[in-house]
Amino acid sequence: MDKYYAVIDMGSNSVRLVIYYREDDRVSTEVDNLKSTIRLSDYLDEDLNISEKGMAIAIRTLQQFRQLCEARNVTDVIGVATAAVRRAKNKEDFLRRVQQETGFTFRLLSGEEEAYYGYFAVVNTMPVNDCITIDIGGGSTEVVEIKDRKLLNSHSFPFGAVTLTRQFFRQGVPTQVEMQSLETYLRKQFDTKGWLKSAGIRLIGMGGTARNLGKIHQKMSGYPFPSLHGYEMSQQQVRDVFAAISPLPLSRIKAAEGMSEERADIIVAGIAIIKVLLEYAGCNEFIISSKGLRDGIWMEKQMGRHGKQLLDDIVPYHMQSFIRSYRVNEAQASHVSALASSLFEQAAELGLLKYNEQEKQLLCIAAQLHDIGHTISFRESYRHTFYLLVHVLLPGLTQKERLLAALLASYKGTKKMRQLALPYKSLLTEKDFQTIERLGLLLLMAYALDRTATQQVSSARFVRKDNGITLLCRGRGEQPLEKDTIEEYKKKFKKQFDRPLSIEWAASATI
């Protein structure tokens, strides 16, 4: 049954509401996202009680969220509170007032639970096996060690971008002494967890600090791909951003391209945490995840597994949601994918191309998502397919793989493909273009063999004959449209594979 659901995350720096529309157990879409930076941690007094003013601000914000939920007909709200509320001595009174005055019931997460949900989001949306994750909040920082996709160690440090800024930076631009004091403090904190020392694996960052770091670097480097999830930075590139930002007055930090103005006053301390951990753990690669705590909580509910299991294969799970969201003919998509995969394997056996498992996977993905652009408009749908695959996240793929899949799914010929790729040329090699041309032709041929979307052509087989290649097609009925359509690709096959192509047809029982 179609329903609207919401997740509210009440953190130390901000309160965020995300509303999802769920069509069924496999398909959900984020339809609204609202954030209010209330800095709840600033309203903890000397006795660690949330002040009356802090309560009033939080409740007023949540009442606004209630209005939005009612307007959207949200039927179920999951509320979680983290570090600032954890620290508060009057947490029970505060959450009771929240429930009475807003109707929202909040679950107070432990540091370990907070770390777990971030981990759960990362391993179910990124192709990672061994890594460390870091989620920097306003008042806490969660780190997790992942081995073979399993949570090996986790810890919640009692500091975040807001609390460190207040603790170490007195006013204006941080001094060298203040910066050294902060970094010394961070290393001592990391020393308490021996598993962090010289881990030498990738560091994956979640939260606003990591996202802002990535956005700033993308602007600095002129990176063309419009996505943060999976964006990679070297340790030196993180240092470069830190060196560029940390000496600036607040007004110039706010004006920096990619900088969220409301986070500008705490960004230096936040990036310092990432920089020091990269150095401490010996990580040479920092990868940004746009999925974190809220996504982990929602995925646990959406998957219906209560967080006890992980996805066996990330891409097919999320691709199924893509297919249903964009009303793809699932029977045709599956059949064309099988035909394309078979043609790829046979072409490799005949030496027409080299077998590559990643290329085969991209071909199957592109075959199943080839028609998603039809949802926007049938006219020039290939452009819409490309746009959607570039701009809408398909979890489980790297950014380069997403771009290649988009070019392949939208392939209509070399000229059109290179026009679409022009803004992203810096991310592609000539070999990439050649790969898309070869795989794109096989994809077009597979679609031609199911032009009527009736799966009449059950199989197609490449056979070497004399100096050429014969495509033996087996099916039922006459398949007049398929027969005419596949003929269009004989010249393109000769140009791409330097072999003439002939096509023969037979009934199912004779091949």
CA distance 19 to 26: 16
Q: Does 136 lie in the same domain as 281?
A: yes
pLDDT band at 511 (very low <50, low <70, confident <90, very high): very low
What tokens were used for 57? 């601000």
CA distance 90 to 47: 10
The full 3-state SS of 65-101, as one line of letters, equals: HHHHHHHCCEEEEEEEECHHHHHCCCHHHHHHHHHHH
CA dihedral of residues 51, 56, 58, 64 (deg, nearest 10): 180
Domain of 454, CATH number, reads 1.10.3210.10
Asked whether residue 1 carries a pLDDT value surpassing 80, the answer given is: no
Asked whether residue 305 carries a pLDDT value surpassing 60, the answer given is: no
What tokens were used for 505? 């047809």
Which one-letter DSSP state was computed for residue 265? G
Assess contact for 208 and 12: CB atoms under 8 A.
no
pLDDT band at 324 (very low <50, low <70, confident <90, very high): confident
Average the pLDDT over each of 93-97, 299-303, 305-309, 412-416 and give the range with the smallest value. 305-309
pLDDT band at 62 (very low <50, low <70, confident <90, very high): very high
pLDDT band at 2 (very low <50, low <70, confident <90, very high): low
End-to-end CA distance of the chain: 46
Task: Give the pLDDT score at 302.
Answer: 81
Task: Give the pLDDT score at 444.
Answer: 97
Average the pLDDT over each of 25-34, 116-125, 258-267 and give the range with the smallest value. 25-34
Q: Does 57 lie in the same domain as 119?
A: no
Q: Please compute the mean of the pLDDT values over residues 255-260 and round it to a whole number.
A: 94
Model pLDDT for residues 452-494, shown as the tens digit of each residue: 999 999 999 999 988 899 999 998 877 889 999 999 999 999 9
Of 231 and 478, the one with more pLDDT: 231
Q: Does 379 lie in the same domain as 360?
A: yes
Task: Give the pLDDT score at 506.
Answer: 85
Task: Give the pLDDT score at 510.
Answer: 47
Q: Tokens 């920082």 map to which residue?
A: 141
Task: Give the pLDDT score at 353.
Answer: 95
What φ, ψ does residue 398 adopt, rounded to 5°? -75, 170
Which one-letter DSSP state was computed for residue 50? B
Asked whether residue 141 carries a pLDDT value surpassing 70, the answer given is: yes
Q: Please compute the mean of the pLDDT values over residues 23-36 and round it to a whole number.
A: 83
Task: Provide the b/e sequence for 50-60 (b: ≥16 CB within 10 Å).
Answer: beeebbebbbe
CA distance 228 to 423: 17
How many structural domains comprise the chain?
3
CA distance 408 to 457: 23
Average the pLDDT over each of 48-52, 469-473, 506-510 and give the range with the smallest value. 506-510
Q: Please compute the mean of the pLDDT values over residues 339-354 and round it to a whole number.
A: 97
Q: Please compute the mean of the pLDDT values over residues 164-170 and round it to a whole number.
A: 94
Average the pLDDT over each of 109-123, 156-170, 388-402, 472-486 and give the range with the smallest value. 472-486
Across 89-189, the runs of DSSP E, i.e. the strands, are: 106-108, 131-136, 141-147, 150-157
Q: Does 145 lie in the same domain as 104?
A: no
Model pLDDT for residues 88-111, shown as the tens digit of each residue: 999 999 999 999 999 999 999 999
Per cent of the chain over pLDDT 90 is 88
Q: Does 321 lie in the same domain as 218?
A: no
Which structural domain range is residue 13 located in? 3-109
The answer as to whether 299 is a domain residue is no
Domain edge (last residue) among 260, 294, 328: 294
Full-model pTM: 0.92
Q: Does 272 lie in the same domain as 125?
A: yes
> Could you tell me which of 131, 139, 126 has the C-alpha nearest to residue 9?
139
Asked whether residue 308 carries a pLDDT value surpassing 80, the answer given is: no
Q: Does 324 lie in the same domain as 260?
A: no
pLDDT band at 307 (very low <50, low <70, confident <90, very high): very low
Asked whether residue 303 carries a pLDDT value surpassing 90, the answer given is: no
Q: Does 200 lie in the same domain as 85?
A: no
Q: Does 158 lie in the same domain as 105?
A: no
pLDDT band at 172 (very low <50, low <70, confident <90, very high): confident
Asked whether residue 304 carries a pLDDT value surpassing 70, the answer given is: no
* Torsional class of 24: left (φ above 0), alpha (ψ -120 to 50), beta (otherwise): beta
The answer as to whether 364 is a domain residue is yes
Domain edge (last residue) among 69, 93, 109: 109
Asked whether residue 25 carries a pLDDT value surpassing 80, the answer given is: no
Q: Does 222 lie in the same domain as 97?
A: no
Q: Does 382 lie in the same domain as 406?
A: yes
Q: Does 365 lie in the same domain as 403?
A: yes
Domain of 66, CATH number, reads 3.30.420.40
Averaged pLDDT of the chain: 94
The answer as to whether 386 is a domain residue is yes
